[in-house]
């Protein structure tokens, strides 16, 4: 494929999980600052809502279940057809799984759903991005994986989510090495308590390690979006390997 960038071409990104929360915020930040963005997610209607929030931006909406290899292949084929190249994959799609279920009672199907989405989906999207970034001209690009504070320290009753986020850290490190030969930079952003629908319960109370249920502070999701854009816009000779962005007073550092 010959997809050599011209001086006037916009940079292009794929954002998975772009229909809500962090994915929507990052997509809108990129669109606001001149990127072309492919919006990927399971629900076409929420992707269209994201696109409508940035009417001047150049969007491509592709309904995608990242756990299905054929749908990921179709997503990146659509990106190649529409934009000709890929500069950024924000590997963001994820699910937390059932909340409050004791580990010994966790259904295997629930475990498998989290693994398929958070880990296998990230693998499939990164692999497709690698293939496109290797063959485009100029070669290379960047992948930013959405980790979590849970990639470092778990919450109670979070085995599926925590296991996949720890695994994602290993994937980030491995891909960072594998991408060097092709000008592909890979980093990870670990996020704590960004204010989204998923974290709404933090405001009213969430289970702590000592068994208490305590409200936790949250931060504006726009702060996460700006951080991802900073990572994305570095020259490929520089990389933010790991960034941790969290609500300042959340109980994570030390003893809270």
Tell me what pLDDT residue 2 has.
46
What domain range includes position 149?
Answer: 12-246
> Left, alpha or beta for 162 (phi > 0: left; psi -120 to 50: alpha)?
alpha
Identify whether 42 is part of a domain. yes
Listed in sequence order, the residues at least 6 apart from 231 whose beta carbon sits closer than 8 Å to its beta carbon are 142, 144, 187, 189, 240, 243
Query: Mean pLDDT in the chain?
Result: 93
Collapsed DSSP state (helix, strand, coil) of residue 225 = helix
pLDDT in tens, 129-171: 999 999 999 999 999 999 999 999 998 899 999 999 999 999 9
Q: The domain spanning residue 117 has which CATH number?
A: 3.40.50.720
* 98-130: pLDDT as tens digits: 888 999 999 999 999 999 999 999 999 999 999
Q: Is residue 253 part of a domain?
A: no
Quote the percentage of the chain above a pLDDT of 70: 96
Alpha carbons 77 and 147: distance in angstroms, whole number: 26
Residue 213 lies in a domain: yes
203 within some domain: yes
Q: Is residue 78 part of a domain?
A: yes
Over residues 185-211, the mean pLDDT reads 87
How many structural domains comprise the chain?
Answer: 1
- What pLDDT does 210 receive? 86
Residue 174 lies in a domain: yes
Q: Per the domain annotation, does 256 fall within a domain? A: no
Task: Please report the pLDDT score of residue 256 as a whole number.
Answer: 54
Is 23 within the bounds of a domain? yes
Catalytic status, residue 182: no
Q: Is the pLDDT of residue 3 over 60?
A: no
pTM (predicted TM-score): 0.93
Q: Are 128 and 76 in contact (CB under 8 A)?
A: yes
Q: Kindly name the residue from 108, 161, 182, 252 that is annotated as catalytic.
A: 161
Strand ordering across the sheet containing 58-63? 58-63, 36-41, 12-16, 88-91, 141-146, 184-192, 242-246
61-78 CB burial, b ≥16 within 10 A, e <16: bbbbbbbeeebbeebbeb
């Amino acid at each position: 494929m010959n997809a050599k960038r011209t001086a006037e071409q916009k940079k292009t990104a794929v954002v998975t999980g772009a229909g809500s929360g962090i994915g929507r915020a990052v997509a809108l930040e990129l669109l606001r600052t001149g990127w072309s963005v492919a919006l990927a997610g399971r629900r076409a209607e929420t992707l269209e809502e994201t696109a409508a929030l940035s009417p001047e931006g150049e969007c491509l909406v592709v309904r995608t279940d990242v756990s299905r290899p054929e749908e990921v292949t179709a997503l990146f084929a659509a990106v190649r057809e529409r934009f000709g190249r890929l500069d950024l994959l924000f590997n963001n799609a994820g699910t937390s799984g059932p909340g409050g279920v004791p580990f010994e009672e966790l259904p295997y199907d629930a475990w498998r759903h989290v693994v398929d989405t958070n880990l296998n989906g990230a693998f499939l999207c990164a692999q497709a991005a690698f293939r496109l970034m290797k063959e485009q001209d100029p070669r290379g690009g960047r992948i930013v994986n959405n980790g979590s504070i849970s990639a470092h320290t778990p919450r109670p009753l979070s085995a599926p989510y925590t296991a996949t986020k720890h695994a994602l850290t290993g994937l980030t490190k491995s891909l960072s090495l594998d991408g060097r030969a092709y000008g592909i930079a890979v980093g990870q952003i670990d996020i704590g308590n960004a204010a989204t629908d998923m974290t709404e319960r933090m405001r009213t109370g969430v289970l702590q390690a000592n068994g208490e249920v305590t409200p936790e502070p949250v931060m504006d999701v726009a702060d996460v979006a700006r951080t991802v854009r900073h990572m994305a816009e570095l020259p490929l000779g520089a990389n933010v390997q790991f960034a941790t962005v969290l609500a300042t007073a959340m109980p994570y550092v030390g003893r809270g």
